[in-house]
Amino acid sequence: MSRFFDPPQAKPLLPKEKIDKVYKSMRFRVFMGAFLGYAAYYLVRKNLSLAAPGMIEEGIVDKAGVGIAMSAVSIAYAFSKFIMGSISDRSDARKFLVVGLILSALTMIGVGLVPFGANQAFNVTLIFIFMLLVGWLSGMGWPPCGRVMAYWFSQNERSFKMSLWNTSHTLGSGSLGLLMTFGLFIFGILGIEQAWRAAFIVPASVALLLAIFCWWALRDTPQSCGLPPIDEYRNDFSGVKAKKGEEEKIPFKTLFVEYIFKNKWIWMIALANAFVYMVRYGVGDWAPVYLQEMNIMTAKESNLAFALHNYAGIPGTIICGWISSKFFKGRCAPPNIIFMGAVLLGTVVYWQAGNLAALMATDPAAISALTKTFVYFGLILIGFCIYGPVALVTVQALNLVPKNAVGTAAGFVGLSGYAFGSAVLANILMGFVAEHAGWNTTFILLSAASLMAMLLCAVTLKSEK
């Protein structure tokens, strides 16, 4: 089994007249495999966020318990992404991604079938264990995609292409909300009680189908298809090079110590990523619970808001990447600062519009369409602007290391984002604060996190000069 994931050997070079045609075809094919593959991982990662309102209403868990359970995904994913990143640098991207996706989907279906009891502490523990497993398996998603993007797309096109690719998780997250609504409809027709289980079962089933497509579409490197390396094909040798003798495989100690631990800019980028992720998941993960608990929206409306929040990230990420390439010559920090400033504005709008709607919620009919529109607007503005920095913070880290160390670099930055930003700040801290201090305090924390992300991105401007 240890040899199963070994990358395929390079094939003899194709005839010169075929290279351009095959290269163009394969680049589109592997891009779509990485795009839909990573989108599928988001169909089996944040399902608990949508199931939580129903589970809380039935007394299975409370908000603090949901926060603890949700943190398991981020904690496990953070360490898995880091460790799996190093392993993926030595593995076949195709096998790595597909195997992880299948196991993640089967695990999430298992959560949807568990018969929970009346003991909340036991329920939280059980869900935590399942989410821990899902989070660990999710770490097999990003690293092989990063490997594919590094080997099939060269340095001077990578920020824009990775921005395009990075919209995959917004597509996946948004589709999760719509699939939940579809699942509620199907469960209603079938007369199945505890309809929140649809949030786990229906999206995971779709993910299994997408795994089949990914197996067909993905290939590890151009060399494994009889093609020359991407830098030769595009005559772009601008990327960071490995030291002599380390071009093919860098020892883990060298990967981490030389390229990560001793690089102060990687540390700054990682800390900025933590605050970006706090806002990303602090808003997205808690939106369904917040909107339904405060009687601002119904379950269907909050699912739609969740979907629109994520879908807005698709054009936002593309535009952010385009700005980076068009106006800043591939530099990532300047657009990150601009977009996080807009995120701060969106957070304030969402916060105050929600407060106004909550004041009127004693009489749901009194909540005006205009007030809900501002709630939607705030969520959409945050979604539009947050995913550009999510993409470019990582791209900035990748640009500071050679391409055969991208998995480790991405894993380290992701470790900060998920373990500290998502698990500790967005899930555990916000769940505790929401339960004991109220939602207004959580929005103060989110606003402060947006500001900190802007300041840290400003500090990293020097690393790109």
pLDDT of amino acid 216: 94
Q: Strand, helix or coil at 220? A: coil
pTM for the model stands at 0.74
Task: Please spell the DSSP secondary structure of 369-429, one letter per residue.
Answer: HHHHHHHHHHHHHHHHHHHHHHHHHHHHHHTTS-GGGHHHHHHHHHHIIIIIIIIIIIIII
Contacts (Cβ under 8 Å, ≥6 apart) of 341: 450, 454
The CA distance from 253 to 262, in Å, is: 12
The CA distance from 152 to 34, in Å, is: 11
Is residue 347 pLDDT above 60, yes or no?
yes
Is residue 38 pLDDT above 50, yes or no?
yes
pLDDT of amino acid 197: 92
Q: What distances in angstroms separate CA 421 from CA 3, 74, 347, 449, one per listed residue?
A: 35, 9, 17, 9
Mean pLDDT of 159-188: 84
Is residue 194 pLDDT above 60, yes or no?
yes
Is residue 405 pLDDT above 80, yes or no?
no
pLDDT of amino acid 201: 94
pLDDT of amino acid 362: 58
Query: Is the CB of residue 279 less than 8 Å from the CB of residue 313?
Result: no
3-state SS string over 70-118? HHHHHHHHHHHHHHHHHHHCCCCHHHHHHHHHHHHHHHHHHHHHCCCCC
The CA distance from 465 to 463, in Å, is: 6
Contacts (Cβ under 8 Å, ≥6 apart) of 292: 53, 298, 299, 302
pLDDT of amino acid 430: 92
Query: Is the CB of residue 340 less than 8 Å from the CB of residue 439?
Result: no
Confidence of residue 1 (pLDDT cuts 50, 70, 90): very low
What pLDDT, in 10s, does the model give residues 202-256?
A: 999 999 999 999 999 999 989 999 898 888 888 766 655 555 444 455 666 666 6
pLDDT of amino acid 75: 86
H helical segments located in 139-241:
142-152, 155-190, 198-217, 230-233
Q: What distances in angstroms separate CA 64 from CA 114, 255, 277, 422, 446, one per listed residue?
A: 21, 38, 19, 15, 18
Mean pLDDT of 188-209: 90
Confidence of residue 354 (pLDDT cuts 50, 70, 90): confident
Mean pLDDT of 309-323: 89
Contacts (Cβ under 8 Å, ≥6 apart) of 419: 74, 75, 78, 79
pLDDT of amino acid 44: 94
The number of helix segments (H) and strand segments (E) in the chain equals 19, 0
* Nearest to 423, CA basis, from 69, 177, 137: 69
Count the neighbouring beta carbons within 10 Å of the beta carbon of residue 232: 12
Taking all residues of the chain, what is their mean pLDDT, rounded to a whole number?
Answer: 86
Query: Is the CB of residue 110 less than 8 Å from the CB of residue 171?
Result: no
Count the neighbouring beta carbons within 10 Å of the beta carbon of residue 19: 16
pLDDT of amino acid 239: 56
pLDDT of amino acid 4: 83
Contacts (Cβ under 8 Å, ≥6 apart) of 399: 155, 158, 159, 239, 240, 330, 332, 464
pLDDT of amino acid 245: 47
What pLDDT, in 10s, does the model give residues 50-78?
A: 899 889 989 999 888 999 998 998 888 87
Confidence of residue 462 (pLDDT cuts 50, 70, 90): confident
Is residue 350 pLDDT above 70, yes or no?
yes
What pLDDT, in 10s, does the model give residues 372-401?
A: 888 999 999 999 999 889 888 888 887 777
Count the neighbouring beta carbons within 10 Å of the beta carbon of residue 241: 13
